[in-house]
Amino acid sequence: MGCFKKLAGATLVLAGLAGAATVNNPIMYVDSPDPSIVRVDDAYYMVTTTMHFAPGVPVFKSTDLAQWRTVGYAYQTLTNNDQQNLNGGKDAYGKGSWASSIRYHKGFFYVLTPSYTTGKTHLYKTADVESGQWSEVQLPFYHDPSLFFDDDGTVWVFYGSGDQISYVQLNDDASGVKQGGKSGKLGGVSVNQVTGTSNYYVQQEGSHMEKVNGEYYLFTISWPAGKSRSEIVYRSKSLLSGFSGRYFLSDNGVAQGGIFDTPDGKWYALLFRDSGPVGRMSHLVPMEWKDGWPVPTSGSKAPSTIDLPETPLPGYGMVTSDDFESSELALEWQFNHNPDNKNWSLSANPGFYRITTSRTDSRVVTAKNTLTQRSFGPKSSGRTLVDGTGMKDGDMAGLVALQDDKGFVALAKDGGSYKVVMYTGNKDGESQKETKAISGSKVYLRIDFDLPIDRGTAYFYYSTDGNTWTKIGSDVKLNYDLHMFVGVRWGLFNMATKQAGGYADFDWFKVGTDVNDEIYLDGAASEPVPQTPFCAAGENCPAVALPGKIEAENFDVPGKGKDGTSYYDGDSENHGDSDYRNGTGVDLYKKATGIVVGYNSEGDWLEYTVNVTEAGDYTMFAAVAAAGSTSSFKLSLDGKDITEEIAVPAASSGEDNYDDYNKVKSNVTLPAGEHVLRFTVVGSWLDIDYFTFVKGKDATDPEPIGPTNLVNRGVMLDMNKARDAQYFDLQGHRLEKSAIKKAGVYLVKIPGFGTRLVRVEKSR
């Protein structure tokens, strides 16, 4: 595969379609547009649109429909012209190669892809999709083509847009258009007749022809004005005529793709949805046959989850960290346009990716040899270490969020000194937002993506030591635009603005769900570094001893690599006001009682390495605050829940008051030894100050809540006199008065007085 390496398959363990894992749709939260899929025995092969990137038309493989890996590309170079080479002020943005069709016929794989850059349709063929060489035949331009091999040995292309779909016959060996062969419009295919309108955003395109049980099924997409982007299916017993059509799916814009079966007889449609800056994401739709028509088993809605044997790989198998230790690039990399092979290297400085400038450029989008990987959602982080020792005055080398609305953070050489710069831009230009002088010629650079469906933001950082990160410049609100027509990507670049010939070395690229995560798909990474107990005073602190107290802000130090992270904060913004632990992203606040973890929303979690000195029953007390009535959390040990959902009472002093802390408790059973305790937010929003574990069931809290609580103010409540009060235990569960067998501390809601933590004493 030229200069791209095929990654070791030993780390990818795939299973047959027999297990059970609930997988979210989209099955790939990553740019995977215009998917086309074919099954060969028990393996599935998928291609997606490349646009201007090279090499082009990636081929992905799976044996379980959940875990996908890049196994090759249909071409290394689409064409050598000024557009694809970024020469003469020209580019191929939004063009290159478009929706492709993959087929398998008589021992050969075929990939058919049209190009608005070449004005041709390129047909690639190989006997070995993973390591073989591809031959190429060029055909006339066919928009959104579907290659089809019929049982009688004839070969066809179905293509086009508008009310009808066109066809053309190829030679029986697919070597070109057949002289004297058939061509024309498919009979009976009329999208206006199916939709009942002639008013569209997109009338019809995206052909996929299939043959099932002797009948022909043509799938297309249509987007009627004022309605959802939809998948249409036509059916006929004849290949070229007699079709009738109907909607296959019209929900949330999930459309365009084909259908396939599994070895055990299940049927699916693989479609995609336009999803904002992250790109166009693939959805898997289970289906069945009713009266000869394909019908989604989920009815009129695209399913939000499906059951598959496995869960997706980290980064959905489409991104990887890379230490550049190999003599070849990992297959997950693609260049932005054709590379200038004389001016990039993995061998000039072994262990580094080097870019040498060969000309001056005024914009990052024209710089050659920018090396890219996809982003993924809903959150992801990419970072690199760049060495600018070989840079010339005016050079900028760094990390770009590559899309029409873009931004980059870079090491810049200015005379004999270095600085970090941050730029933002759009398709019309780029401008500097901030600059910071640094000493030395090396700097760590980072871009985080927050990519909820249909919107996105990029955040930019630098570091001089790799541990403490400083935000720089402006956040970039990302936007999916038809000019580039792709999801946002990370790109490693080097650009000369004054003189050519300088070089920059990139030591590594690390990618993960956050700054502490590293996804390595090829198994070549160093051994993962486990998380360790946090130590405010220094290194090598022991695990927190239980019984004892855990300060919430002292969650573990994250490790590196798979399963090395020690927290999850679902909000990219840091809303805290404490610099106690810079760079974690966890929201830490200064309160009168010390530092607390705040702004905790549903799904957030923190982990603590603990050492239980004696197995047995314990009582857990937690100091928590919430402004609403839907807040709750749970605790787990080594991945197994040790509490049920624990409700956190709302503040009695009004909404949005997180200074009014309460105590909640739960009885737990703990095994002896070292374990990982996880605190998980189940219901938003809440703040957490600390946990205390006391030996014994229903033990007494050694540290009653602070001065904001009535207990320490000496307030007592005669239960018999508080006739209209409502009582709750410290987990928020409603209690009847008769259930209160003894004096103690309870949550009491008193009309006109609010809810307080109160010491209740029975009358004598």
Q: Give the DSSP per-residue string, 534-581.
A: --SSSS-PPPEEESEEEETT-PPBP-BSTT---EE-S-SS------TT
Q: What is the DSSP letter of 85?
A: H
Residues 667-709: tens digit of each pLDDT: 999 999 999 999 999 987 899 999 999 999 999 999 887 433 3
CA distances from 166 to 29, 146, 206, 218, 239 (A): 33, 11, 12, 12, 12
Strand-strand pairing, 605-612 and 544-546: parallel
Mean pLDDT across the stretch 277-281?
96
Q: Please name the helix (run of DSSP H) or strand (run of DSSP E) that holds residue 195, with its range, or none.
A: helix 191-195
The answer to whether 112 and 143 are in contact (CB under 8 A) is: no
User: Considering the chain, what is the average pLDDT of its residues?
Assistant: 88
What is the model's pLDDT at position 757? 57
CB neighbour class for 197 (10 Å; exposed up to 12, middle 13-18, buried from 19): middle
Mean pLDDT across the stretch 81-107?
97
CA distances from 185 to 99, 112, 142, 190, 750 (A): 20, 20, 13, 10, 77
> Distance between CA 209 and CA 219 in Å, rounded?
6
In the numeric block, which tokens belong to residue 106? 């008589």
Query: Has residue 725 got a pLDDT over 70?
Result: no
Mean pLDDT across the stretch 426-431?
90
The answer to whether 454 and 276 are in contact (CB under 8 A) is: yes
pLDDT grade for 14, boundaries at 50, 70 and 90: very low
The closest of 756, 689, 752 to 717, measured between CA atoms, is 756
CB neighbour class for 540 (10 Å; exposed up to 12, middle 13-18, buried from 19): exposed
The answer to whether 34 and 273 are in contact (CB under 8 A) is: no
Query: Has residue 397 got a pLDDT over 80?
Result: yes
Residues 96-138: tens digit of each pLDDT: 999 999 999 999 999 999 999 999 999 999 999 987 789 999 9
What is the model's pLDDT at position 721? 46
In this structure, of 342-346, 557-561, 741-745, the range with the lowest mean pLDDT score is 741-745
Q: What is the DSSP letter of 83?
A: H
Distance of CA 668 to the CA centre of its chain: 35
Q: Please name the helix (run of DSSP H) or strand (run of DSSP E) that holds residue 489, with its range, or none.
A: strand 489-495
What is the model's pLDDT at position 738? 61
The answer to whether 452 and 378 are in contact (CB under 8 A) is: yes
Locus of tokens 């573990």: 556
Query: Has residue 288 got a pLDDT over 90?
Result: yes
What is the model's pLDDT at position 454? 94
CA neighbours closer than 13 Å in the CB half-sphere of residue 132: 12
The closest of 697, 681, 550, 530 to 612, measured between CA atoms, is 550
pTM (predicted TM-score): 0.73
Q: What is the DSSP letter of 651?
A: P
The answer to whether 633 and 624 are in contact (CB under 8 A) is: yes
Torsion angle defined by CA atoms of residues 11, 58, 369 and 98, in that order, rounded to the nearest 10 degrees: -160
Report for 199-213, 538-552, 629-643, 648-662: range of highest mean pLDDT: 199-213
pLDDT grade for 720, boundaries at 50, 70 and 90: very low
What is the model's pLDDT at position 593? 75
pLDDT grade for 651, boundaries at 50, 70 and 90: confident
The answer to whether 409 and 473 are in contact (CB under 8 A) is: yes
Distance of CA 333 to the CA centre of its chain: 17
> Distance between CA 333 and CA 335 in Å, rounded?
7
Query: Has residue 208 got a pLDDT over 70?
Result: yes
- The three-class DSSP label of residue 141 is coil
Residues 471-503: tens digit of each pLDDT: 999 999 999 999 999 999 999 999 999 999 999
pLDDT grade for 557, boundaries at 50, 70 and 90: confident
pLDDT grade for 575, boundaries at 50, 70 and 90: confident
In this structure, of 17-26, 205-214, 346-355, 745-754, the range with the lowest mean pLDDT score is 745-754
Query: Residue 592 carries which side chain, given as an amino acid letter?
Result: A
The answer to whether 593 and 704 are in contact (CB under 8 A) is: no
The closest of 611, 609, 584, 610 to 595, measured between CA atoms, is 584
> Distance between CA 91 and CA 246 in Å, rounded?
40
pLDDT grade for 584, boundaries at 50, 70 and 90: confident
Query: Has residue 244 got a pLDDT over 90?
Result: yes
Query: Has residue 649 got a pLDDT over 60?
Result: yes
pLDDT grade for 763, boundaries at 50, 70 and 90: very low
Give, in degrees to the nearest 5, the angle at Cα 14 between 9 and 15: 155
In the numeric block, which tokens belong to residue 275? 């999803």
Q: What is the DSSP letter of 587?
A: -
CA distances from 364 to 309, 380, 381, 397, 516 (A): 43, 22, 20, 10, 28
Report for 210-214, 479-483, 732-736: range of highest mean pLDDT: 210-214
pLDDT grade for 391, boundaries at 50, 70 and 90: very high
Q: Count Cβ atoms below 10 Å from residue 652 Cβ, excluding itself.
A: 20
What is the model's pLDDT at position 750? 56
